[in-house]
Structure 1
Amino acid sequence: MDIVIEKPSHQHITEIAQICAAGWRQTVEGRLSKAYQDKNVAYWYNHDKVRSDIDSGNYSHVALIDSKVVGTIGGAMTGPERGDVYVLYVDEAYRYQGIGRRLLGALTDKQIAEGALEQWVSVEKDNWHGIPFYKARGFVLQGEQMTEVASGETQVSLKYRRDVG
């Protein structure tokens, strides 16, 4: 299996939207209502928003197998020495094959080149795909953030940090 990591383009919009929507829904399943999930997916993963996020660099890399998008990552520098991971999802059929590790490595290299000494990520509480992944790569829990979302439900994110410089 030949995995190619590259910058996303507009031809990847549909696949990025599908992978991110499915992955995000899995992380909040059973904790946030379907109505809220639908609203959130419609906002973050509609084609115009994904296009805008590709153009702004918020989606930094995609993983391709035979020209098919099987994963994506995005993030940005949020301080002079701080990089954040905003999104990292891998198509469920391709998980546990090193794709997430390679995507995180590509974003980390980019952020280090931009001056990052530390990297942060927020992970949904009870996300048993994401939490072990980030812990295995040296991220350490820094705290918990509770946010009341528009539907009145509470979303709980865990904040993780690691040194990269």
Structure 2
Amino acid sequence: MQVIKADERHIDGIAKVCTDGYWATYGDSYPKEYIQRIVKEFYNADRILNEVTTSNKHWGGYFVAVENGKVLGAGGGGMIGKAAGEIFVLYLDPDRRNEGIGTKILDALTTQQKEFGADEQWVSVGKGNQKGIPFYESRDFIFKYEKQSYGNIEGENFVSLRYYRPI
């Protein structure tokens, strides 16, 4: 298994692993309609094509964990300030958790963000996400505050937890 910068060959694999990972993470706690809306917005082929062919400090592109040509995990991030990086997305094949894949993707994103000038790193995790919260806390992310989740529409009050760590 290796972690590499994603390109056009990885679009379908990124879409699958992020969609499957999102459902596995939030399927028991968020309404089906909310999950479908988020998946449709973020994990469609057109958006991912744009995101694997665009790379700058604000969006550093996707990194993928690949084994025998199959995408096992995907993550992306960028800079949210002069010295602040953010992990925007990190999902794995739900059947391949606890193998170190997420850590390797996080390490690649961290290295990239340090190269961009980051000395701190942020991530938002859905409140109650018992896959993501322990993962980030075990990697020295510290809870800072709550905020409304991205993608809420009128009548929805989903909450994200903001975590931070120095890098």
Which residue in the other structure is 1:143 paired with? 145
Unaligned runs of 5+ residues in structure 2 are: none
Normalising by structure 2, report the TM-score: 0.91
Offset from partner CA, 1:108-147 (integer Å, 9 cap, x none): 0111111100000000111111101100111000011124
52-61 or 106-115, larger mean C-alpha shift: 52-61
Which residue in the other structure is 1:25 paired with? 23
Which residue in the other structure is 2:165 paired with? 162
Q: Displacement of 1:42 after TM fit?
A: 1.1
Q: Displacement of 1:38 after TM fit?
A: 1.4
Which residue in the other structure is 2:33 paired with? 35
Contact 1:36–1:151, Cα closer than 8 Å, also in 2: no
SS in 2 for 1:154: coil
Which residue in the other structure is 2:81 paired with? 79
1:153 is aligned, of 153, 156, 162, to: 156
Aligned length: 162
> Following the alignment from structure 2 to structure 1, what is the Cα–Cα distance between the partners of residues 21 and 139?
20
Normalising by structure 1, report the TM-score: 0.92
Specify the code of the residue in structure 2 equivalent to 1:149: N
Specify the code of the residue in structure 2 equivalent to 1:150: I
> Following the alignment from structure 2 to structure 1, what is the Cα–Cα distance between the partners of residues 98 and 107?
15
